[in-house]
Amino acid sequence: MKCHVPGPNVKVLARTVHALARFGDDLYLESLSDCILLRTLNASESAYAMVKLNKNFFSHFNHNYYCVDVEGLKCKISMKSALNAFKSPAHMDKQVENLEIKLDPHSSKLIFQLNCKHGIVKTHYVSILDCKAMQAVYTKDLVPNRITSSQRLLSEALGNFQCSDDQVTLEVTSESLIIKNFGDTPTDISRIIRSQVTIKPFEFSSYTIGTDTNITFTLKEFRALLGFAEGLNLPVQLHFEITGKPAVFVVHNGTTIEAHFVLATSKPDIGTQYTSQHTTNSERKRKENSNDNNISAKKVHLDEDLSNQFQEDSNLFNYIPNNMSQNNVRENINNVEKANSIDTNCDNIPASPTSRMRIASVFKRCFESTFDPRIIHGVVLAENSDSD
């Protein structure tokens, strides 16, 4: 793959990399015939970012440059290396005339060649750490709640919170949106300033709330995506459902660039002051325990939204940790059968652990280099994204 980024877009790409760097430590790059996808995932797997650069973002785009008939080149590089190539986004438009990116599948390097003013050429040879892709599954459309907002509105609102605040909760009704840094249940509040900002619907460009809800997510990544929107002077679209399900933020300019930021959400009362890492672990444990007991409450249809399976935990990558042995699985199957026999009137078909396993392996397979979405038969993993 070889492509040229014209001068003005180099700054955009730099800002993109800087925004992604605030999410995760590894950058996954995938080159398809009509676009390049940049993805990353944070360490606690509670935030995912994907930026799609369409063919028209580039002045020249040849994804088959080095070899023909290659489906799509995938690679993973360290985010630090990527940042090194895009040091100061603010100055790039004054210094850089264009950028050439080359990915040769046979060498082990991704090459960024910045052709700068005054005849200076800066070349960065970045080692490729791995050749696989990464993908998350989430629902963007057909959600009851959608808000479009200028990034300035949200940034202004966040200006009322402290740097030390870890998470924010959005309390959303059709009358108002309240952003606060605390949940409903008492935690140790004697040392913390509890702040909240109320925003009325008319302040947003569009505001559709089908289901009143509370969603809580980490501030760090929220600020990062707002920074990205600010750099490009674009509005932010927020698509979300209810507590526990991931919230999807979309920033796009309709032509060259489209970014999806997916943040896992949690219930506000689960350790509001804990870091997201902590939340994920405690939630995962709760999920395991509750699933053992409440299997009958779960749905099994895979063509429904998968995150229904995991009501309390909106971990995006719900693969089972390795310590779940085969014995446990057998136990769960037995439990399911017992549940079935006991409650024959129950309409809900329990989720069999084996199907959970399959879900896990589906996710797991996303990490494999040979993963092809078409392999999963009859399962709609995610609705087609609209082109809006």
Tell me which residues touch another protein (CB under 8 A): 78, 81, 84-85, 87, 95, 118-127, 129, 150, 152-153, 156-157, 159-160, 162, 186, 189-200, 202-203
**Residue 240 CB, nearest approach to another protein (Å):** 21
Closer CB to another protein, residue 129 or residue 339?
129
**Per this entry, what is the length of the chain?**
388
SS3 for 79? helix
Closer CB to another protein, residue 84 or residue 211?
84
Closer CB to another protein, residue 119 or residue 378?
119
Closer CB to another protein, residue 124 or residue 358?
124
Closer CB to another protein, residue 190 or residue 326?
190
Q: How many angstroms separate the CA atoms of 98 and 11, rounded?
A: 10
**Residue 119 CB, nearest approach to another protein (Å):** 4
Q: What is the dihedral of CA 265, 364, 102, 374, to 10 degrees?
A: -100
Q: How many angstroms separate the CA atoms of 262 and 238, rounded?
A: 10
Q: Taking a C-beta distance cutoff of 8 angstroms, is the pair 235, 15 a contact?
A: no
Closer CB to another protein, residue 126 or residue 224?
126
Q: Name the DSSP class of 274.
A: S
Q: How many angstroms separate the CA atoms of 344 and 100, rounded?
A: 64
**Residue 105 CB, nearest approach to another protein (Å):** 18
Sole residue written with tokens 């998350």: 136
**Residue 347 CB, nearest approach to another protein (Å):** 42
Terminal-residue alpha carbon distance, the chain: 28
Q: Taking a C-beta distance cutoff of 8 angstroms, is the pair 140, 250 a contact?
A: yes
**Residue 10 CB, nearest approach to another protein (Å):** 14
Sole residue written with tokens 């902590």: 278
Q: Name 36's bridge partners.
A: 31, 53
Closest Cα partner for 277 from 39, 27, 45? 45
Q: Which amino acid is at 134?
A: M
**Residue 102 CB, nearest approach to another protein (Å):** 14
Closer CB to another protein, residue 149 or residue 314?
149
**Residue 185 CB, nearest approach to another protein (Å):** 10
